[in-house]
Amino acid sequence: MSSSIGIDIVEFEEIKERLSDKFIHRILSERELEKYNSITHTKRKISYLAGRFAAKEAYTKAYKQFDTPLNFKDVTVLNDQTGAPYIVSTYRPKDTVLISISHSRNFAVAMCSIEE
């Protein structure tokens, strides 16, 4: 068994600058998009998008390389009943993937740990 970690940090201002329907649809899966569209507060939408983007970047960094190019829409970050995030992915579905996301006033950071 091997393990690896990945981490990423995203500035909310960067998300605001890149914010467009094309960007949102490139980052969010259908389930995430449903949640995003249900959020009414603009700052919370930016925070949500930044957190998902950071989580998927951390996930990519933990693996370093896939057999096929990673499509962010094929990786979904959901929350369990306690609010803790978890990943559903078609890439290496048998692996144990741990994810943590944190937000500050201006940043979202995510760390991903993989056990293969």
pLDDT tens for 78-90 read 999 999 999 998 8
Kindly indicate the confidence band of residue 44, based on its pLDDT and cuts at 50, 70 and 90: very high
Amino acid type, 94: K
pLDDT band (50, 70, 90) for residue 64: confident
Q: Which of 16, 25, 61, 94 is catalytic?
A: 61
- Return mean pLDDT, the chain: 92
pTM, two decimals, is: 0.92
Which CATH number do you get for residue 46?
3.90.470.20
* Residue 22 is among the residues annotated as catalytic for this protein: no
For residue 57, give the 3-state DSSP assignment: helix
- What is the distance between the alpha carbons of residues 15 and 85, in angstroms, rounded to a whole number? 20
Domain that holds residue 42: 3-115
Q: Say whether 61 is catalytic.
A: yes
Choosing from 16, 45, 56, 103, which is the catalytic residue?
103
Please give the tally of structural domains in the chain: 1
**Residues of the chain above pLDDT 90, percent:** 77
